[in-house]
Amino acid sequence: MSQENRIPVAPIWGYEDTSRIPFWAYTSEDIHKQELEKFFYKDHWCYVGLEAEIPQPGDFKRTVIGERSVIMVRHEDNSIYVVENVCAHRGMRFCREKNGNAKSFTCPYHQWNYDLEGNLQGVPFRRGVKQDGKVKGGMSKDFKTSDHGLTKLLVAERGGVVFASFDHSVESFENFLGPTMLFYYDRMFNGRKLTLLGYNKQRIPGNWKLMQENIKDPYHPGLLHTWFVTFGLWRADNRSELKMDEHFRHAAMISTRGSGGKDTQTTNVSSFKESMQLNDPSFLDVDVEPWWDGPTAVMMTLFPSVILQQQVNSVSTRHIQPNGHGSFDFVWTHFGYEDDTPEMTERRLRQANLFGPAGFVSADDGEVIEFSQQGFEQKPFHRSLAELGGKGIEETDHMVSETLIRGMYAYWRKVMGV
Amino acid sequence: MNTESYLKLIQFYQNYAAMVDQEHWNAWLDMFAEDCIYKVQARENHDRKLPMAALSLTSKGMLKDRIYGITETIFHDPYKQLHMVSSPLIMSESNNIIESQAHYTVFRTKNDGMAEVYNIGRYIDRLRVTDDGIQIESRLCIFDNEMILNSMIYPI
């Protein structure tokens, strides 16, 4: 059902199921604006950061939800607030620091001042100036500071991770995740305090959904990521499961690594070298942690904004920050746990060499996303294919399926109404 | 530091850039001591004393493994690098150890593409002067870019 002769391409799905995904889903600016409204600003919880990033009262961090700049701040009473970084007066993005400590927020343009919850505290010349015994200028008599606060977001905090929503009628965070995802979420964030190890940030010239799909796609790791396979971190025959929430929007790829090396049917990778050894094996000096309770890797995609990574000892959040339909910033926040020994911290840092924009197995993900977007842009009437494991949507006990991608687009179609 | 030593130091910095730009990876490896540190780290992490780095290699073995990754396993768009490296600023010098810094700019040119500013920053170095020349004990590449342009494959 080609749309080749219909330019511009109409946003009609045109396929029976989600084993075909039209390229316009990635190339239309109009679709992108709708996605921001429907997924990032309404009905969904979006990632903003870790509590460990703002440990002290007054500590704040500037970040984004979709394409809207927000500030996550810790109040004197220790609770966390998230407010939009747009002054209620003239709309200026007033907060320029990436992080810091503040008693209140002040927009430099006209010195409008807000408390940490976002309430407007005062405006200069509200009652005008006295001149020749008369009061001149000032705000209207009916001007109320209480009408002009910053946009306040709903905040959910669980296990040291902070989510927020512009939509005050959004379901609870726990409902939003659903029991299956909540189980794996709580496994990783089980109440221990997190410690911040730092950031990796990359700008990927591709549609933001491609990153969600990348982590819902267990087809590619053993094929694209030769390094993974070579050193035994990923094999198609590893014990593994694919799970979703009831809406199919969130997913978890759960796997337990085998012995690696030269067992049978390891790989189809042509460059695979059985005898390859690391010069410095400490890259993969894995120490099994009790909280894993089995799986050596659990990759969770929480739709739309974040990926939660456990790859052996390396744990991180990966925040998706779209900028237009064809680009997003990908911000990795690596962390550890309060009871980590110095050796465990070292181990997490060493294994982080596998991930991020320079990572042995993640650098290539950004690259393939860029080139996928290039293909979509040149052929917007075409579609991609996600048929591994059939055309339906179901959880599996193996990795040879694109069911999670099909699930995500079933949800996407429902919300987008296409 | 006398003029001759400083000239040797400049030569060392420029040679490093040349070897990386020409992808002479064995020559690049040879510039490091056996016991070495090589990190490429965002300035944000460095300034806030957060240990995370884009690349954190803490032995020559790890450097060799990185080269294997670059040349054998990591899929990436082909690109060329061109480094412009400033004259080094000597921070300290004693017992054959030089602590020095230099600014760098790396341009990236892809096939079919125009050169673009890819990564800019500062080398923070600890160098050992030996009879065989200068060796890197520690090189931190602290970059200003807020975002890495998609991926970083080759060393800086």
- Rounded Cα gap, residues A169 and A42, in angstroms: 9
**Cβ–Cβ < 8 Å for A404, A216:** yes
Q: How confident is the model at residue A274 (pLDDT cuts 50, 70, 90)?
A: low
A-chain CB neighbours of B153 within 8 Å are 358, 363
B18: domain CATH number is 3.10.450.50
What DSSP assignment string belongs to B3-22?
A: HHHHHHHHHHHHHHHHHHHT
B30 at A interface, C-beta within 8 A = no
A22 bridge partner residues = A383
Per the CB < 8 Å rule, is A271 touching B51? no
B155: Cβ–Cβ under 8 A, 6 or more apart, which residues? B20, B28, B38, B40, B55, B66
Instruction: Dump pLDDT digits (tens) for A366-411.
Output: 999 999 999 999 999 999 999 999 999 999 999 999 999 999 999 9
User: A281 lies in a domain?
Assistant: yes
Looking at the fold, whether A129 and A242 belong to one and the same domain comes out as no
What region does B96 belong to: left with phi over 0, alpha with psi -120 to 50, or beta?
A: left
User: B76 lies in a domain?
Assistant: yes
In the stretch 108-147 of chain B, residues with CB closer than 8 A to chain A read: 146-147
Q: Is the pLDDT of residue A264 over 60?
A: no
Looking at the fold, whether A228 and A371 belong to one and the same domain comes out as yes
User: B22 lies in a domain?
Assistant: yes
Q: Residue by residue, what is the 3-state secondary structure of chain B?
A: CCHHHHHHHHHHHHHHHHHHHCCCHHHHHHCEEEEEEEEEEEHHHHHCCCCCCCEEECCHHHHHHHHHHHHHHCCCCCEEEEEEECCCEEEEEECCEEEEEEEEEEEEEECCCCCEEEEEEEEEEEEEEECCEEEEEEEEEEECCCCEECCCCCCC
Average pLDDT (A71-85) is 97
- Rounded Cα gap, residues A308 and A46, in angstroms: 13
Looking at the fold, whether A241 and A385 belong to one and the same domain comes out as yes
> For residue A379, what are the CA distances in angstroms to A2, A3, A7, A210, A262?
11, 10, 11, 17, 41
Q: Which domain holds residue A303?
A: 178-416
Q: Is the pLDDT of residue A330 over 50?
A: yes
Query: How many domains, chain B?
Result: 1
Of A124, A155, A186, the residue at which a domain comes to its end is: A155
- Rounded Cα gap, residues A268 and A256, in angstroms: 20
Average pLDDT (B100-129) is 97
- Which of A11-15, A203-207, B35-39, B49-53 is the least confident region? A11-15
Percent of chain A predicted with pLDDT > 90? 86
User: B55 lies in a domain?
Assistant: yes
Burial of B2 (0-12, 13-18, 19+ CB in 10 A): exposed
Looking at the fold, whether A316 and A395 belong to one and the same domain comes out as yes
Query: Mutation test of the interface with chain A: which of B148, B153, B156, choosing the one with the most A Cβ atoms within 10 A?
Result: B148
A-chain CB neighbours of B60 within 8 Å are 279
- Rounded Cα gap, residues A331 and A198, in angstroms: 10
Q: How confident is the model at residue A269 (pLDDT cuts 50, 70, 90)?
A: very low
Average pLDDT (A28-35) is 97
- Helix, strand, coil % over all residues of chain A, rounded to 5: 25, 25, 50
pLDDT of the residue at A259 = 55
User: A304 lies in a domain?
Assistant: yes
Phi and psi at residue B130, to the nearest 5° = -120, 175
Q: Which domain holds residue B107?
A: 3-143
Handedness of CA A185, A188, A192, A194 (dihedral sign): negative
**Cβ–Cβ < 8 Å for A378, A339:** no
Looking at the fold, whether A142 and A203 belong to one and the same domain comes out as no
pLDDT of the residue at A267 = 43
pLDDT of the residue at A228 = 81
Looking at the fold, whether A200 and A58 belong to one and the same domain comes out as no
B26 at A interface, C-beta within 8 A = no
User: B118 lies in a domain?
Assistant: yes
A330: Cβ–Cβ under 8 A, 6 or more apart, which residues? A201, A202, A203, A204, A211, A318, A319, A320, A321, A357, A366
Across the interface, which of B58, B64, B152 has its CB nearest the CB of A363?
B152
User: B154 lies in a domain?
Assistant: no
Q: Is the pLDDT of residue A268 over 70?
A: no
Looking at the fold, whether A124 and A220 belong to one and the same domain comes out as no
Of A155, A189, A223, the residue at which a domain comes to its end is: A155
A-chain CB neighbours of B59 within 8 Å are 280, 282
Average pLDDT (A94-112) is 97
User: A27 lies in a domain?
Assistant: no
Looking at the fold, whether A341 and A218 belong to one and the same domain comes out as yes
Q: Is the pLDDT of residue A165 over 50?
A: yes
B-chain CB neighbours of A370 within 8 Å are 77, 150
CA B24 to chain A, closest CA, distance in angstroms equals 19
Residue with tokens 């090396």: A261
ipTM of the complex: 0.96
Q: What is the mean pLDDT of chain A?
A: 93
pLDDT of the residue at A263 = 43
User: A410 lies in a domain?
Assistant: yes
CA A316 to chain B, closest CA, distance in angstroms equals 11
A124: domain CATH number is 2.102.10.10
Per the CB < 8 Å rule, is A226 touching B51? no
Task: Write out the H or E segment, with its range, that includes residue A71.
Answer: strand A68-74
Looking at the fold, whether A327 and A234 belong to one and the same domain comes out as yes
Looking at the fold, whether A400 and A275 belong to one and the same domain comes out as yes
Per the CB < 8 Å rule, is B76 touching A329? no
Looking at the fold, whether A286 and A392 belong to one and the same domain comes out as yes
CA A231 to chain B, closest CA, distance in angstroms equals 11
- Which of A133-147, A267-281, A284-298 is the least confident region? A267-281
pLDDT of the residue at A233 = 73
A363: domain CATH number is 3.90.380.10
Of A155, A189, A217, the residue at which a domain comes to its end is: A155
Residue of A nearest to B59 (CA): A280
Average pLDDT (A246-273) is 68
Query: How many domains, chain A?
Result: 2
Q: Is the pLDDT of residue A266 over 70?
A: no
Average pLDDT (B72-82) is 94
Q: Is the pLDDT of residue A2 over 80?
A: no
Average pLDDT (A244-248) is 98
Higher pLDDT, A310 or A263: A310
Looking at the fold, whether A143 and A236 belong to one and the same domain comes out as no
pLDDT of the residue at A275 = 62
pLDDT of the residue at A173 = 98
pLDDT of the residue at A227 = 85
Average pLDDT (A180-186) is 98
pLDDT of the residue at A358 = 97
